[in-house]
Amino acid sequence: MYKYELHCHTGSVSLCATIPPKDLVRKYEEAGYSGLVLTDHYSPMTFMLHHYLRPQSAMEYYLSAYRELRDQCGDSFTVLLGLELRRYAAVNDYLVYGVEEDWLRRQPNMLLWNEKKLYTEAHRAGCLVYQAHPYRRMVHRCDPRYLDGIEVFNGHTDEERNQKALRWAQSLNKPMTSGSDTHHLSDAACGGIGTETPIRTNADLLDVLRSGRYTLLTPESDAGE
């Protein structure tokens, strides 16, 4: 079983996190993971000190942690680029998978995008969009037409709200994911997915997510132990 984290942050870019990239890689390697998708916050708070009104001009800053992670792990551990998007004056978060650096650099200010716009542009680039922790306080459930799936286990969300997310995903027959939502070393490596085949590229990741050939990792799952 290969284990992959689908929701984690670094202290270098996500201002609410504290983990340096080098420590993030070490932590996940020690926990037996084969890789991770870095989903640093693409949000107003992230760019508060870096071009709040023009985040697209701060992409070198946003990508810095991703590049450091890749340099830390070499070929022994997979690091893929994702993002967690929250637009201006909103509380919903959306995980985007399959992100390529060149695509990200070409985008305008994504903090202005609503859910439909995000879904449309992500699909145009071949990416997938999942709503993160949809039952957190103040969060509203997105129109399911603009979601490829739903995060049903989130390491920063209590069990009751995770169960509500699970039931919502099941009622919609939507694909489900799990993520640690790592911000600190103490909350790393409690979620993700397990696969029978390795994920090395974004194409591999998207194929696994679209096919459903994975199991959800949680603290209670056999795969996560």
Domain presence at residue 222: no
Domain count, the chain: 1
pLDDT (average), residues 82-98: 97
As given in the structure block, the two tokens for residue 118 are 């995000």
pLDDT of residue 72: 84
Domain contains 180: yes
Query: CA 66 to CA 41: how far, in whole Å?
Result: 12
User: What SS3 class is residue 192?
Assistant: strand
Q: Could you report the per-residue pLDDT of 157-178, keeping only the tens digit for each? A: 999 999 999 999 999 999 999 9
Which residues are 147's β-sheet partners? none
Give a yes or no: residue 224 inside a domain: no
Over residues 3-47, the pLDDT tens digits come to: 999 999 999 999 999 999 999 999 999 999 999 999 999 999 999
pLDDT of 224 strictly over 60: no
Helical residues (DSSP H) of 132-220, grouped into ranges: 159-172, 202-211
| Nearest C-alpha neighbor of 77 from the set 217, 190, 189, 215 | 189
CATH of the domain at 78: 3.20.20.140
* 225 within some domain: no
> Is residue 223 one of the residues assigned to a domain?
no
Q: Encoding tokens for residue 218?
A: 């949680």
pLDDT above 90 covers what percent of the chain? Answer: 93
Residue 219 has pLDDT above 90, yes or no: yes
Is 188 within the bounds of a domain? yes
Q: Please give the model's pTM, rounded to 2 decimal places.
A: 0.96
Confidence of residue 100 (pLDDT cuts 50, 70, 90): very high
207: which residues sit within 8 A by CB, 6+ positions away? none
Q: Which domain holds residue 30?
A: 2-217
* pLDDT score at 76: 84
204 in a structural domain: yes
Given a cut of 50, is residue 67 above it in pLDDT?
Answer: yes
Residue 137 in domain: yes
In the sheet that 128-131 helps form, which strands lie side by side, from edge to edge? 41-42, 83-85, 94-97, 128-131, 149-154, 176-179
Q: What is the pLDDT of residue 225?
A: 46
